[in-house]
Amino acid sequence: MKIRQTALATLVFAAGIGIGVAGQQKLDVSLFQGKSNLEAARALLGSARTQAGDGSWERIAIGRVYYLGGMKPEGQAIFDQVLAEKHKPSDELRIARVYREAGEWHKAKPLFDHYLVEEPKDATDTAEIGSYYLMSGDRPKAEELFTRSFGLKPELWATVAAAGGYLNVAPQE
């Protein structure tokens, strides 16, 4: 019985390696060489979508490039798909960051607010979001979030995020 279990475990492990390697195949240079920037980006993003599989963070990263690269409908479709599925609060945070980076505070703010409800004890993210509030002109809300953050756990990254907000420097993600 022990030999069977070991053999089965080895087979499952080997199959997993095979699947992982298949997902990491080398990309053909014809995807980008000799093509316009837009054609190369589209081809590479298509490959990235295959590489991402079902990973939400990976898909959000791809959606970010579409969205900020001028292909908003493609990026928005990815974000909508991630949000329609069972997802983590951090997925909303990542999408909100993209909207903020795109200058769309009206789309970012509700996702940031929901994240703060779902993850009320993350000091760094609370200060980061406070910085975004400050940069969008809502100093009272920003300072409320800074106070909350520093009350949770004073830490370097939260302090740096708050300081940056006062200088209109977005937190480093």
Q: CA–CA separation, 10 vs 3, rounded Å?
A: 10
- List the single range of 6-10, 29-33, 118-122, 145-149 with lowest mean pLDDT: 6-10
Q: What is the mean pLDDT of residues 116-128?
A: 95
CATH 1.25.40.10 fits 88-173, yes or no: yes
Q: Please tell me whether the overall predicted TM-score, pTM, comes out greater than 0.75 for this model.
A: yes
Q: Which residues have CB under 8 Å from 41's CB, separation 6+?
A: 65, 69
pLDDT 10s digits, 9-24:
434 343 444 444 445 5
User: Which part of the chain is CATH 1.25.40.10?
Assistant: 88-173
Q: Where are the alpha helices (DSSP H) in the chain?
A: 2-22, 37-52, 56-68, 72-84, 89-101, 105-118, 123-135, 139-152, 156-166
- What pLDDT digit, counting tens, does each position of 52-98 carry? 988 899 999 999 999 999 999 999 999 999 999 999 999 999 999 99
More confident residue, 31 or 78: 78
